[in-house]
């Protein structure tokens, strides 16, 4: 991922430290408490500071989704990702890493007596170069394009999802990205070679017992005493939190969020303790809490971003982790599909294998469709990050779709097809159900992220047109303003005129819906449907803002519902364009199926018999072979087989 620095001071609008954000102003005008407005404003400022790390043309206001909704010219070219170029050395590292995982899986040596990935496996992966894939070659890494890394994660997840997840923790949301992006030359030279070799594995310690989605509730502190920071506090739910690891530790320094790079000691002592608890998800990884009591960290370990603070650093790596989560989900679903087919061939009811039943065929097709959507979103989002885009809204879509797709695949498709055997010990569903569901929470709970997506989508429109109106309302003293009242309209005239001009322009200006050359007609038609829907959505979004005005932050259900519809249109667009460029006709069929289903969800129409026939036919073809995504995958033996 290539973060683009500012090309000129004129390219960014950097707010002064004391300036109120749009969200903070809106909350105050909406009658919220000073504390809520201040805390929400703190997060909004951190978001602004992350934006300022990117050149203007790569910021959220110029992102594909934002432009697809708000621009009159539809940016079709931003939804057509190119394939990444990967060096021979990087390809070899990936192949060697897959071989290490495959060999240990087949030998039954991936996990130790405690059920965790063994140090021997971690060490062999380090020798292969696995831990340095995202680290620049000058520090001993491979410098892989993020698009190549995420595609590789899907392959690794099809062998062992835990290893894919650990690579994401280490390279995306652990200490690697903060050091790559915000570290000084001295900090990079000291830590990145160790992280690239696997001598040190990393984690990021942000969450606390009382600070989850509300990151303003942080309580861990670091006080400078001489040339060391003295840390006191507690962290919770930290993946890869173990003695001897290197972590990015978020704490308060002079009451402001900051990040320290911390080498955890090899053994617990009176200053550092691991808090162990029973977590059903991530069972093959160490997910622990940590307590610090007068724990000392060298002063030079403080990360110092050019602007912003510790929340800026914490926010920066989240998008990498969100796309990686979707890539890992795509790998896990491959395993589900590969295991559904042998069972569907074996299981017989009323004298025939259930693979011949239309309902089961549709389940197989649906799972292939969900996988295809994930593959498309991963390819698109990781390409955008490699291009230099921040990708905030796009990566949120990938995270939500990937986690919800994996949940549906596990519960509605895998479990229901396998029936009671799903709950046997050793069955991939029974053994992994918590792993399949946990991504709905990790990297941000879906509906909460959906509202964050909506906030990012309306932010510029709100700043341009609604913030001035809100301030004018306060200045005028109107308690219940009504623009249809001539006296009210006159009092607010200077603030209302720009918005009125925008509405007129929207009515009169022709809209561009984009062209999708090279995409087969049936998929291009889906892409055009989504493009038209996204262009039309801006008027509904703006009308929603008018209707609820300063109370919009309280209308969470409305925001979540509208956000989800826009996300679904983006999934249709990204999936149809990506699949249209794939050679395998089954991939295109799966994409067509997913787009049809999302369009029905948006329109409320009932499925046709033609759709059911197409779904059954696709499921039948996949069961017969030829769906490359699952070719060669290992499947578990059928549990408790019976004589036929």
**Per-residue pLDDT tens over the stretch 496-534:** 899 999 999 988 888 777 889 999 999 999 999 999 999
| Domain assignment present for 540 | no
Cα 347-584-615 angle, rounded to 5 deg: 45
Closest CA to 471 of 28, 37, 43, 48: 28
CA distances from 21 to 36, 46, 58, 313 (A): 13, 10, 21, 19
Distance CA 204, CA 246 (A): 9
Closest CA to 376 of 523, 156, 248: 523
How many CB atoms sit inside 10 A of residue 506's CB? 13
Residues spanned by the domain of 220: 202-310
Closest CA to 377 of 302, 427, 429, 326: 326
pLDDT for residue 249: 96
CA distances from 554 to 30, 457, 461 (A): 9, 17, 19
- The answer for residues whose C-beta is within 8 angstroms of residue 351's C-beta and 6 or more apart is none
Cα 587-591-595 angle, rounded to 5 deg: 175
Closest CA to 312 of 324, 320, 304: 304
| Domain assignment present for 208 | yes
Distance CA 341, CA 184 (A): 52
Closest CA to 635 of 197, 207, 340: 340
Residues in the chain: 644
pLDDT for residue 18: 41
Distance CA 432, CA 280 (A): 9
| Domain assignment present for 258 | yes
| Domain assignment present for 324 | no
Contact 63, 390 (CB under 8 A): yes
The model's pTM is 0.93
| Domain assignment present for 216 | yes
Environment class of 227 (CB within 10 Å of its CB; exposed 0-12, middle 13-18, buried 19+):
exposed
HSE, side-chain direction, 13 A CA sphere, residue 89: 11
Contact 139, 133 (CB under 8 A): no
Dihedral angle over CA of 286, 329, 210, 46, nearest 10: 120
| Domain assignment present for 222 | yes
Q: Which long-range contacts (CB under 8 A, 24 or more apart) does 5-10 make?
A: 5/53, 5/55, 6/52, 6/53, 6/54, 6/55, 6/56, 7/55, 7/56
pLDDT for residue 4: 41
Distance CA 561, CA 557 (A): 6
**Beta partners for residue 353, in sequence order:** 348
Q: Looking at the 3D structure of the chain, how many domains does it have?
A: 1
- 241: domain CATH number is 2.40.110.10
| Domain assignment present for 624 | no
Gyration radius of the chain over CA positions: 26
Contact 144, 133 (CB under 8 A): yes
pLDDT under 50: residue ranges of the chain: 1-19
pLDDT for residue 229: 98
Distance CA 178, CA 169 (A): 12
| Domain assignment present for 232 | yes
């Amino acid at each position: 991922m290539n973060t683009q620095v500012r090309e000129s001071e004129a390219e960014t609008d950097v707010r002064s430290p004391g300036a109120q954000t749009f969200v903070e102003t809106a909350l105050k005008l909406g009658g919220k408490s000073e504390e809520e407005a201040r805390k929400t404003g703190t997060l909004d400022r951190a978001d602004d500071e992350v934006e300022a790390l990117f050149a203007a043309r790569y910021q959220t206001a110029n992102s594909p989704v934002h432009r697809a909704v708000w621009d009159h010219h539809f940016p079709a070219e931003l939804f057509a990702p190119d394939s990444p170029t990967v060096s021979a050395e990087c390809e070899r590292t990936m192949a060697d890493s897959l071989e290490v995982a495959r060999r240990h899986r087949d030998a039954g040596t991936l996990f130790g007596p405690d059920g965790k990935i063994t140090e021997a496996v971690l060490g062999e992966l380090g020798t292969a170069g696995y831990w340095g894939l995202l680290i620049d070659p000058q520090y001993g890494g491979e410098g892989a394009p993020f698009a190549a890394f995420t595609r590789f994660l899907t392959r690794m997840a099809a062998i062992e999802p835990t290893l894919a997840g650990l690579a994401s923790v280490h390279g995306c949301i652990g200490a690697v990205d903060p050091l790559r992006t915000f570290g000084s030359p001295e900090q990079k030279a000291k830590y990145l070679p160790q992280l690239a070799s696997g001598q040190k594995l990393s984690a990021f310690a942000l969450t606390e017992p009382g600070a989850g989605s509300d990151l303003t509730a942080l309580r861990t502190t670091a006080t400078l005493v001489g040339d060391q920071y003295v840390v006191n506090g507690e962290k919770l739910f930290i993946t890869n939190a173990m003695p001897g690891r290197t972590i990015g530790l978020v704490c308060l320094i002079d009451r402001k969020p900051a990040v320290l790079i911390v080498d955890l000691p090899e053994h617990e002592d009176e200053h550092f303790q691991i808090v162990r608890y029973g977590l059903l998800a991530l069972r093959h990884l160490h997910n622990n809490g940590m307590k610090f009591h007068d724990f000392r960290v060298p002063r030079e370990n403080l990360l110092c971003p050019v602007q912003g603070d510790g929340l800026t650093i914490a926010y920066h790596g989240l998008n990498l982790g969100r796309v990686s989560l979707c890539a890992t989900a795509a790998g896990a679903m491959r395993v589900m599909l590969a295991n559904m087919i042998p069972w569907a061939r074996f299981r017989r009811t009323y004298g025939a294998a259930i693979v011949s039943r239309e309902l089961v065929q549709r389940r197989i097709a649906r799972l292939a469709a969900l996988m295809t959507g994930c593959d498309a979103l991963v390819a698109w989002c990781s390409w955008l990050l490699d291009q230099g885009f921040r990708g905030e809204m796009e990566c949120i879509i990938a995270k939500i779709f990937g986690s919800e797709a994996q949940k549906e695949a596990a519960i509605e498709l895998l479990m229901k097809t396998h029936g009671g055997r799903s709950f046997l010990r050793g069955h991939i569903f029974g053994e992994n159900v918590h792993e399949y569901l946990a991504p709905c929470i990790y990297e941000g709970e879906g509906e909460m992220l959906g509202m964050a997506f909506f906030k990012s989508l309306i932010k510029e429109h709100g700043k341009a047109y609604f913030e001035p109106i809100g301030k004018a309302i306060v200045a005028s003293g109107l308690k219940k303003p009504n623009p249809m009242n001539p006296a009210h309209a006159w009092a607010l005239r200077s603030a209302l005129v720009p918005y009125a001009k925008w509405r007129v322009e929207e009515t009169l200006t022709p809209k561009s819906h984009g062209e999708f050359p090279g995409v087969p007609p049936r998929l291009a038609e889906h892409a055009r449907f989504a493009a038209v829907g996204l262009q039309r959505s801006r008027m509904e979004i703006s009308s929603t803002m008018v209707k609820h005005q300063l109370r919009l932050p309280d209308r969470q259900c409305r925001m979540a519902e509208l956000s989800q519809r826009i996300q679904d249109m983006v999934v249709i667009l990204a999936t149809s364009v990506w699949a249209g460029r794939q050679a395998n006709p089954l991939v295109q069929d799966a994409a067509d199926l997913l787009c049809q289903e999302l369009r029905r969800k948006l329109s409320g129409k009932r499925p046709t018999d033609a759709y059911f026939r197409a779904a059954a036919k696709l499921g039948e073809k996949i069961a017969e072979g030829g769906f490359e995504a699952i070719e060669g995958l290992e499947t578990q033996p059928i549990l408790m087989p019976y004589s036929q």
